[in-house]
Amino acid sequence: MSKPQSTMGKFFSGLAKLYRGFRAVVLNLLFIFIFLIFIGSFLGQPPIVVQRGSALLINPNGTIVDQLTFVEPLDALLADSLDANITGEILLQDVLDAIDYAATDEAISSIVLSLNNLQASGFSKLGEIGAALLRFRESGKKVYAYGDNYSQGQYYLAAHADEVLLHSMGMVNLEGFSTYQYYYKEALDNLGVNVHIFRVGEYKSAVEPFERNDMSKAAREANAEWIGDLWQQYISEIGQMRDLEPAFINDYINNMDQYLAELFGDAAQLALESNLVDQILSRGEANDYLAAEIGTGNNAGRNDEFLSVGIMNYLSARKDSLGELQQSNDKVGLIVASGTIYDGRRDAGEIGGDSLQELISQARKNDNIKALVLRIDSGGGSAFASEVIRSELEKLRNDGKPLVVSMGSMAASGGYWISTPANEIWASASTITGSIGIFGLYPTFEDSFEKLGLNTDGIGTTELAGAFAVGRELPDLASNILQSMLEEGYQQFISLVAAARNMTLEEVDAIAQGRVWSGEDAFELGLVDNLGDLDAAIVSAAGLAELDSYEVQLIEQQLSPGQQLIQDLTNSVIVKSGIKLARVEQKTIFKPGDVLASFFNTLNADLNALLNYNDPRGLYLQCQECQPVLFR
């Protein structure tokens, strides 16, 4: 092939050579990097030794979740080399396993809660950790909590400790629970976007942000009920832990300005005098106090720090013993369904109708699995995908395998739809559930196009042809079709609930209409069978299957062989320690808790929801007001 003669040809030819050379260098470096890691993994791993008398250090960095969001193993490996947490998530079961095993472990003397980096998490998840901390204390071992400041979620866990330590410039930042949403009606009008709303249910407020500028009276009434229930649970538990009247906590919040003025603005002293904390100490003083209480050891080369072991190292050190706790051919299957429900396939952290159906099918066809527990932590999503999942669960139960649903922080709307085939439904008192209703949402942009001078015209063979083009006004024919399908979907929803809960359609309709309930109210209304955590649901499932001994088998999406190899390398202690030799200092540029970040995160989530909705008929079972409710 002749070489290009023109100047432009020579330029692009040189650019292509430069690109190919650069690509070759990068790929070779990546290959060498992975090869060295692979070789290092076979050189042996130094055992993790839990020194006798150690405190189990619980210092979660992120949000407590039922299921970790899927991350490509190579990305996770590279992130680990920089001590980065890609997802900002901590698996609830890891925390519970570590606490419960430590209670009987002679090497563990105590627990230290370091909660500065714990972010917003579901109330029920924190409740399960709080219950585990109480079980730990019943073994005669102490729990200490230390924080620079305490948010409401952080303080909830801290209150379960024997001693609560607070920094001298810190505060206990209690403010009460709230659910606030951004409303886009006026903004959409200004942009010329017409959002066509279809819904059934007086309380189905998921679409209100797109049709109103404020909360409706019905939504305000419903939200006040369930959020009030959760707040009463919070102040009652805090009061019990700290020997305070629940009314005192409301008074502390509502009159904080006056109490602070009396103490010249000293928030730490106010917390101490209010019996919310036991000591005010600087970081150094807190470490010295814990070192005197627990003892010292060689922690990261420093002998002046209190003796401790982190959760993940502790679980790694005890994994063989933990595995021996359950040995049986009979198994109770456990599937976690966490996140928004979408049509098709999704990775962990979201729910795909097809991918979850496959997991349920695996459990149904596995003769060793005698019962299934479905852990749901979802505000719903696609109506079609929800029905795909429900149908497969019904098939499993019809095959004679007991099905028990365990509701996490929320199992509402589509999350409740997929609960209906269960033999039993378990929830925590603070679970957000119900929202039995359905909606459709279809935006059109004819007014936006007009403002831009962009016109739409054409011809179709029927009245419906081209009706759903976003640049056209939605015709009545299309609107009527969508509304009819919506009403049929609502009737199907309440019929499923009525059959599952042994209620009449009228009884279900009276507590449906899209209304949200707390787990406690749902139990009283008959929407759930029992109040309890995941362990209680598993025990119940084993009882329904008449199992005396059993093993819990987690059923989850499998990695490809290549992904599995990289994940194994990621979990290699020697690889981690080797990579971290080259770690560079990281700086936090923007904290997730910042007000502006919170606004843009919410805005982004709402817009992503619009973009990612993929139900084939445009019908959704989703509790939008549940989404912002994280326990901060």
**How many CB atoms lie under 10 A from the CB of residue 514?**
28
Give me 139's structure tokens: 């073994």
Which among 303, 250, 297 is positioned nearest to 274, based on CA atoms? Answer: 250
Q: How far apart are CA 108 and CA 228, in angstroms?
A: 39
Residue of 413, 419, 428, 518 marked active site: 413
Kindly give the pairing relationship between strand 619-622 and strand 380-382: antiparallel
The DSSP code sequence of 516-573 is EEEHHHHHHHTS-SEE--HHHHHHHHHHHTT-SS-EEEE--PPPPHHHHHHHHHHT-H
Place of tokens 């987690």: 554
Q: How far apart are CA 81 and CA 88, in angstroms?
A: 15
Residue of 204, 331, 370, 401 marked active site: 204
365-382 burial, b at 16+ Cβ within 10 Å, e below that, comes to eeeebbbbbbbbbbbbbb
Q: Is 17 one of the annotated active-site residues of the chain?
A: no
Check residue 626 and report its DSSP letter.
G
Q: How far apart are CA 363 and CA 444, in angstroms?
A: 43
- For 352, the 3-state DSSP assignment is strand
Give me 327's structure tokens: 């040995």
Q: Is 395 one of the annotated active-site residues of the chain?
A: no
Containing H/E element for 176?
none
Q: How far apart are CA 530 and CA 105, in angstroms?
A: 32
Catalytic residues: 204, 413
